[in-house]
Amino acid sequence: MLEARHILLPALNSALLLLLCSRIVRPAAGVTQFDFGTLTLTSLKLLGDAHWSNGSVRLTRDVAVPYSGAGRVLYSEPVRFRRPGSRAPASFSTFFSFSVTNLNPSSIGAGLAFLISSDSESVGGAGGLLGLQGGSAAAATSPVFVAVEFDTLMDVEFKDINGNHVGLDLNSLISSQVSDLGSIDVDLKSGNIINAWVVFDGSTGDLSAYVSYSNLKPKDPIFIANLDLTQYINDFMYVGFSGSTQGSTEIHSVEWWSFSSSFDSGTAPPPPPPTTTLTNPTANSVKSPAPSLGPSGSDEAGSGTQQKSSKSSCHNQLCKEGPGAVAGVVTASAFFLAIFAGVLIWVYSKKVKQVNKSSESLASEIIKMPKEFTYRELKSATKCFNSNRIIGHGAFGTVYKGILPDNGE
């Protein structure tokens, strides 16, 4: 039996190699989809003044004394924005909720922005620069970026229309498209939670922005711009938020964020908003549509929709199926060969496993790996980061006591 084991082990290794290769014949389709409910703490990168506070990400410091600073939070993995070969732009859609509060309303503001950037390591300047770009001398060498800004500071240098506007920034802080938020009765400095949607259709080049106090998507965008996105992006970019203050005590908080991108259809599936309404709905709002990859007449789009609605997560394309007929035959052959070899080896190793069972059990008790929790689990365990659960303050932030609802630990 020992000789049989030595003969079958190479065969098993070859079979497993064939099985693995058959699973990766088809390359990743470039789909990215996530939200605050599925991200872990390591999925986000905090830069500059950005920090966690009571279940939200704050881009600027919580200080009662006016100061100038900037911070960023980015999804830690790069997102493909141009299709390989054709370099066609990806369609994407993002939904986020944020608030701007001020400990001293008489101080000057600044703002925040949804950001697509080639740079994942640095933060731009404070004040009107919104953490997007360095000083004027460094503007020519700054990383490429696309941003939708929410500006609370009227800066004549950047041709701002007022201190309550939304704008589209394309490698420049002088917005190519700008709209007054007062026209839809939204005040950035109100302290209320504000919801925003940014949608880009790769097939038409239309980028639309929607803003509302409600988490129900408005019927009409605050602005829509047609652009060649490939002029302002690289193949891979980072997505997230940037914010800054200019001699003020403004606090810029991101309360919720979801993002999705795809090359499979003209428009990316819209990310879902939170299940609860964040504030009172407005009369001119319509509910966001369910996720959909494209027109119902497309077989490919329909298949993509089924994959999106699946309970299993395919964020990194590791659970995509290879559809080729040849790959299917190879997979089946390798599978049966692996089973046959595995049964023979199992018969031989059964007694050895029984002998080592007690020692393996002891080792499993001794060697414990840290468990990774999602943001949603941490929020639930600490009752939305309740201040009553604070047990101390460490070098990396506030330490909370958490109780898991499923087992009480």
The answer as to CATH 3.30.420.40 being correct for domain 32-309 is no
Tokens of 255: 């309360």
List per-residue pLDDT tens for the chain, 409 residues long. Answer: 444 444 444 444 444 444 444 333 333 457 899 999 888 889 999 999 999 998 899 999 988 888 899 999 999 999 999 998 888 999 999 999 999 998 887 787 889 999 999 999 999 999 889 999 886 444 445 689 999 999 998 888 899 899 999 999 999 999 999 999 999 999 999 999 999 999 999 999 999 999 999 989 999 999 999 999 999 999 999 999 999 998 889 999 999 999 999 987 555 555 555 654 444 333 233 333 333 333 333 333 333 333 333 333 333 333 333 344 444 444 556 666 778 777 777 766 776 566 555 555 544 444 455 677 777 787 787 778 777 777 776 666 777 788 877 766 6
Q: How many CB atoms lie within 10 A of CB 54?
A: 15
d(CA 246, CA 108): 6
- How far apart (Å, rounded) are the C-alpha atoms in residues 380 and 386? 10
Distance CA 27, CA 108 (A): 50
DSSP 213-242: SSSSPBSS-SEEEE--GGGS--SEEEEEEE
The DSSP output letter for 332 is: H
Per DSSP, the three-state class of 388 is: helix
Torsion 60-65-66-68 (CA) sign: negative
- Of 71, 68, 52, nearest to 249 by C-alpha is 68
Relative to beta strand 397-400, strand 91-102 is unpaired
Number of neighbouring beta carbons within 10 Å of residue 407: 6
- The answer to whether the beta carbons of residues 269 and 198 sit under 8 Å apart is no
